[in-house]
Amino acid sequence: MKKYLIAGLLVWLPLAITLWVLLWLVGTMDGMFRWLLTLLQTVLPAGTDNLIDLLRRMPGLGVVVMATLLLLTGIFVTNIFGQWWVRQWDRILSRIPIVKSIYSSVKQVSDTLFSTNGNAFREAVLVRWPHAGSWTIAFVTGTPGGEVASRMAGEHVSLYVPTTPNPTGGYFVMMPRDDIIPLRMSVDEALKYIISMGVVAPPPPAPPAPSARPAKPEGADPNPAG
């Protein structure tokens, strides 16, 4: 009985978690859409209340509107004119007390994680953690800088050591580059390995292809005279 229950759980659990995440995303987008409609309702004339209520009751409209808004925003900020507006927006928010600390920190982290030019979470490595007798997988997030780098001798790297099965929590450590072992697995494979607590192991790296020996020209003497 226990074997059949576990087998059924392994079938339905991934689907249930996937649906839960999708429903959470849809609910978040619908909530933002309703907030925008409420904001419009306070600005537009009173005669438009029925139209706004109709839009609020339409299922799935919030997801379509928010996805379209994100797409149009991305198109706008990727040109020169849009980038100028983003710089002005950043300059305004960076002058507001309290807001500037939160906004600047979140922006730096998001730019590092999601920018195509960033180096965060681009490489998985093997490190000794939490002591010299054990190993775990970590992700390279950069190199130490500022005063921290000036007080450490030799070349060091900044690492993020995630926890399992929830990789969003973890530890930030700095280690000598000689103490880490680069892995050939991708970041996605490493995350699956961590989330599954070592159950879903990535495939071993393919062995290097043997180097082809140059072919001898036809008619050449296999034992040429020295």
Q: pLDDT tens digit string along 121-179?
A: 778 999 999 888 899 999 998 888 888 888 888 899 999 998 887 777 889 999 999 99
**Position 13 in a domain:** yes
Range of weakest confidence among 62-66, 109-113, 136-140:
109-113
The rounded mean pLDDT for the chain is 80
Residues 74 and 12 grouped into a single domain: yes
Domain boundary among 78, 111, 137: 78
Q: Is residue 85 part of a domain?
A: no
Residue 226: pLDDT band (50, 70, 90) is very low
Backbone angles phi, psi at 205, to 5 degrees: -65, 145
Is 118 domain-assigned? no
In whole angstroms, how large is the CA radius of gyration of the chain? Answer: 27
Query: Can you give the pLDDT at residue 204?
Result: 76
Q: Which residue did the predictor score with more confidence, 129 or 45?
A: 129
pLDDT at 135: 93
Please tell me which residue, 206 or 133, carries the higher pLDDT value: 133
In a domain, 143, yes or no: yes
Q: Answer yes or no: do 67 and 12 share one domain.
A: yes
66 and 134 share one domain: no
- Whether the per-residue pLDDT at 3 is higher than 90: the answer is no
Question: Quick check: 224 pLDDT over 60?
Answer: no
Q: How many domains does the chain have?
A: 2
In angstroms, the CA 129 to CA 75 distance is 43
Last residue of a domain, one of 46, 78, 110: 78
Q: Are residues 6 and 70 in the same domain?
A: yes
Give the Cα separation of 61 and 209 in Å (integer).
53
- Asked if residue 211 is part of any domain, the answer here is no
Query: Is 105 within the bounds of a domain?
Result: no
In a domain? residue 150: yes
In this structure, of 11-25, 35-49, 192-206, the range with the lowest mean pLDDT score is: 35-49
What is the residue range of 72's domain?
A: 2-78
Report, as an integer, the average pLDDT of 43-69. 77
Angle, CA 116 vertex, CA 122 and CA 88 arms, to 5°: 135
Which residues, at least 6 apart from 49, have a Cβ–Cβ distance to it below 8 Å? 41
Cis bond before residue 207 (omega within 30° of 0)? no
Determine which of 3-12, 47-56, 109-118, 136-145 has the lowest per-residue pLDDT on average.
109-118
Do 8 and 73 fall into the same domain?
yes
